[in-house]
């Protein structure tokens, strides 16, 4: 009898071990949503990573399937809600899409406070733990990466020689913090969908639009806008996040592979974006352009006076308004993590 029980117990252990091994060996399919299908980040990085690279890197243990939000017909604010509900397993997106849920999501890309990409990466890394917790609490999602789009600048169908000339202008924005910048310099912020900016510029609905350098070039804003004012008013910092239940369903080996490959993807995307600004600005202002026809916009670079005025607007308007939206505890956390990198402090005024 004892021998029989031992044999049954041993068989049960072997069966459980086989089931565990089978589950660990079973390929995981990740259904993902990307950003804009026409832009470099999706075409060269987001799309290939999930549709091809991760399957090869994992030896077939992870199979990705991604489509851009533009192809899926999704609006930005919908995407993380769909990840939370398990409709998608993974999403790339912009924190500006989710800031309506909690202003804490804006903290790594507040308008105009960072003027170079090396500093922006330090900001992203310092604020990552804060966003990691916010994604987990709000969306039941694991934040896996932060990466930039090319810098966000101003493209105007009006005479603009510097920051002071934005006063009285109607300027297209797509996030609250960009609206704070525009209003801080005396302009009027106008929300216009990306696809409608060109007719808005043509008809005078807006005088200027804010978007990334390469986005502006590829969308041919230079066909209607005349002045490229290259003060960095944001970086279009983006995220990659996975549904937490999906993450927890992966084997330790699958998780380790994803962490390793996404870290490498992140490095590639930061390196790519570091070169795209110069390429796009050259193309859009009639310089050397190996990626298409050059535009003829007038290049206007920020002066020392512009940067000094930007400092005042950043402190008195952008950071002050954000501190009020986000709350005292949120602002104090920003001041401990990001503040020392920029030499700035967020405080309600």
Percent of the chain having pLDDT more than 70? 93
Cα dihedral sign for 93, 211, 273, 234?
negative
State the pLDDT at residue 263: 98
pLDDT over 80 (residue 21):
no
User: Which residues are bridge partners to 299 per DSSP?
Assistant: 228
| 3-class secondary-structure state, position 211 | strand
Domain definitions of the chain by residue range: 2-148+236-276, 152-235+278-342
State the pLDDT at residue 124: 97
pLDDT over 50 (residue 222):
yes
- Report, as an integer, the average pLDDT of 245-264: 98
154 versus 95: the higher-pLDDT residue is 154
Establish whether domains 2-148+236-276 and 152-235+278-342 are of one fold: yes
Q: What's the CATH number of domain 2-148+236-276, 3.40.190.170, 3.30.565.10, 3.40.50.12500, 3.30.70.20?
A: 3.40.190.170
State the pLDDT at residue 25: 60
Residue 81, classified by CB atoms within 10 Å of its CB into exposed (0-12), middle (13-18) or buried (19+), is middle
State the pLDDT at residue 66: 98
pLDDT tens column, 283-317: 999 999 999 999 999 999 999 999 999 999 999 99
- Report, as an integer, the average pLDDT of 65-85: 92
Name the range with the highest mean pLDDT among 10-14, 101-105, 257-261: 257-261
pLDDT tens column, 112-156: 999 999 999 999 999 999 999 999 999 999 999 999 999 999 999
Token output for 280: 């796009």
Q: Please answer whether residues 152 and 188 qualify as being in contact, where contact means their C-beta atoms are separated by less than 8 angstroms.
A: no
d(CA 59, CA 61): 6
pLDDT over 90 (residue 19):
no
Q: Please answer whether residues 92 and 238 qualify as being in contact, where contact means their C-beta atoms are separated by less than 8 angstroms.
A: yes
For 177, residues 6+ apart whose C-beta sits below 8 A from its C-beta are 96, 99, 106, 109, 110, 111, 234, 318, 322
pLDDT over 80 (residue 18):
no
pLDDT over 80 (residue 331):
yes
For 152-235+278-342, which CATH superfamily applies?
Bacterial extracellular solute-binding protein, family 7 (3.40.190.170)
pLDDT tens column, 178-213: 999 999 999 999 999 888 999 999 999 999 999 999
State the pLDDT at residue 95: 85
């Amino acid at each position: 009898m004892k021998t029989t029980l031992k044999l049954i117990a041993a068989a049960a252990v072997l069966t459980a071990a086989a089931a565990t091994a089978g589950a660990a060996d079973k390929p995981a399919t990740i259904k993902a949503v990307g950003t804009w299908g026409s832009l470099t980040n999706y075409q060269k990085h987001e799309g290939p990573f999930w549709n091809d690279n991760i399957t090869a890197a994992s030896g077939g243990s992870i199979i990705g399937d991604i489509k851009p939000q533009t192809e899926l017909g999704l609006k930005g604010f919908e995407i993380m809600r769909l990840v939370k509900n398990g409709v998608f397993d993974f999403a790339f997106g912009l924190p500006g899409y989710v800031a309506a849920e909690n202003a804490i999501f804006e903290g790594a890309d507040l308008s105009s406070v960072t003027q170079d990409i090396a500093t922006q990466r330090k900001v992203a890394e310092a604020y990552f733990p804060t966003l990691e917790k916010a994604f987990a609490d709000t969306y039941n999602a694991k934040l896996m990466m932060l990466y930039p789009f090319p810098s966000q600048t101003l493209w105007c169908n009006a005479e603009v020689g510097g920051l002071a000339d934005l006063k009285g202008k109607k300027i297209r924005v797509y996030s609250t913090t960009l609206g704070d910048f525009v209003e801080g310099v005396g302009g009027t912020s106008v929300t216009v969908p990306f696809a409608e900016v060109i007719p808005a510029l043509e008809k005078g609905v807006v005088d200027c639009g804010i978007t990334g350098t390469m986005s502006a070039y590829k969308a041919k804003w230079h066909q209607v806008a005349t002045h490229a004012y290259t003060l960095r008013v944001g970086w279009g910092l983006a995220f990659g996040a996975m549904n937490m239940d999906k993450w927890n369903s992966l084997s330790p080996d699958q998780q380790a592979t994803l962490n390793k490959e996404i870290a490498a993807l992140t490095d590639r995307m930061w390196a790519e974006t570091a070169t795209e600004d110069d390429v796009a600005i050259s193309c859009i202002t009639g310089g050397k352009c190996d990626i298409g026809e050059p535009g003829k916009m007038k290049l206007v670079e920020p002066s020392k006076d512009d940067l000094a005025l930007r400092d005042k607007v950043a402190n008195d308007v952008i950071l002050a308004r954000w501190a009020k939206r986000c709350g005292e505890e949120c602002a104090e956390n920003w001041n401990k993590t990001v503040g020392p990198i920029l030499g700035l402090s967020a405080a309600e005024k």
